[in-house]
Amino acid sequence: MINTSRILVLGSTGQLGSEIRYLCSDITDNEWIFADRSALDLTDSSAIDAYVAKHAPQVIINCAAYTAVDNAEREADLANQINHLAVRALALAAKKMGASLIHISTDYVFDGRHHRPYFPDDLTEPTGEYGKSKLAGEQAIVATNVRGIIIRTSWVYSCFGGNFVKTMLRLGAEKPSLNVVADQVGSPTWARDLAQAIIHITAHSEIANKTGEIYHYSNTGACSWFDFAEHIMNHRQLSCKLSPIRTEEYPTPAQRPHYSVLDCRKICDDFDISIPYWNHSLAKSLVEF
């Protein structure tokens, strides 16, 4: 283990950024800088270099992103600015300062045609603008050769921010019945678990040996959005009747992968991490919603 002293977290008001802030309030041996949009607006790439130089962090954790999957279809330029161009500027700034960059990406870089979990080096083929912009961000990091890693995750939820769990709890309390897509399969991930893993990685000596390496982190196990919704309702004993439907029956602007389960063994092996099962984490998390 190494001692990291100054850690800059971007996207501090989002789900993951908020969970990191929540967890690290106890960790006093590091200096944490939490940047929100008012401190650094990522639509202004030229501000990034100066901000990073001013704070001179040893580690940067980039939790900021454009995450509105459907809106990205009509705001592709904005998604590209935040998820790609700003990430390139951030990687260059980190490299200049000798900082390690821990960047978060998504299962939506895959097209979902697989029938087995995706490895980090599997072929990427995003089906929507959000996934394309996130992939471009990954590629920009790799091209700069900055120290650090990219962690792809999936189906993230938390009591902080908006997510599928909150939507289901709201609709489940309001409506007698609901249709939910049953032919898209992935792994729900409690942002608290991922935040814990990231904090662990910032202090792990291996981080200093990596440049642009890609890892996967999701809670273990897999389910469809319909299964996920059913478990959310059951944990909360909501009586809303759920019906499984096919993707075509729930038309959305963005096409989502039918299967995006991630193989997470590499992050467990390289950083001595064990990952909780998705439904155990869901049960734990729901106490806070």
Ligand X SMILES: Cc1cn([C@H]2C[C@H](O)[C@@H](COP(=O)(O)OP(=O)(O)O[C@H]3O[C@@H](C)C(=O)[C@@H](O)[C@H]3O)O2)c(=O)[nH]c1=O
Ligand Y SMILES: NC(=O)C1=CN([C@@H]2O[C@H](COP(=O)(O)OP(=O)(O)OC[C@H]3O[C@@H](n4cnc5c(N)ncnc54)[C@H](OP(=O)(O)O)[C@@H]3O)[C@@H](O)[C@H]2O)C=CC1
CA atoms within 13 A on the CB side of 24: 26
Asked if residue 184 lies in contact with residue 225, where contact means CB atoms within 8 angstroms, the answer is yes
Q: For the chain, report the end-to-end CA distance as a whole number of angstroms.
A: 34
Out of 155, 217, 259, 271, name the contact with ligand X by CB under 6 A: 155
Candidates 71, 139, 167, 255: give the one binding ligand X (CB under 6 A): 167
Q: What is the DSSP letter of 220?
A: B
Of residues 279, 56, 74, the one with CA closest to residue 188: 279
Listed in sequence order, the DSSP H helices in 145-190 are 164-174
CB of residue 222 vs ligand X: minimum separation in angstroms?
Answer: 13
* Residues 93-152 interacting with ligand X (rule: CB under 6 A): 106-108
Name the active-site residue from 118, 130, 157, 259. 130
Contact between 257 and ligand Y per CB under 6 A: no
- Quick one: 144 or 184, whose CB is closer to ligand X? 184
Yes or no: say if 85 and 232 are a contact pair by the CB < 8 Å rule. Answer: no
CB-nearer residue toward ligand X: 51 or 215 = 215
* Neighbouring-strand partners of residue 102: 61, 149
130 is catalytic: yes
Under the rule (CB under 6 A), what is the footprint of ligand Y?
11, 13-17, 36-37, 41-43, 63-67, 82, 104, 106, 134, 153-156, 161
Under the rule (CB under 6 A), what is the footprint of ligand X?
67, 69, 106-108, 154-156, 164, 167, 171, 178-181, 184, 225, 250, 252, 256
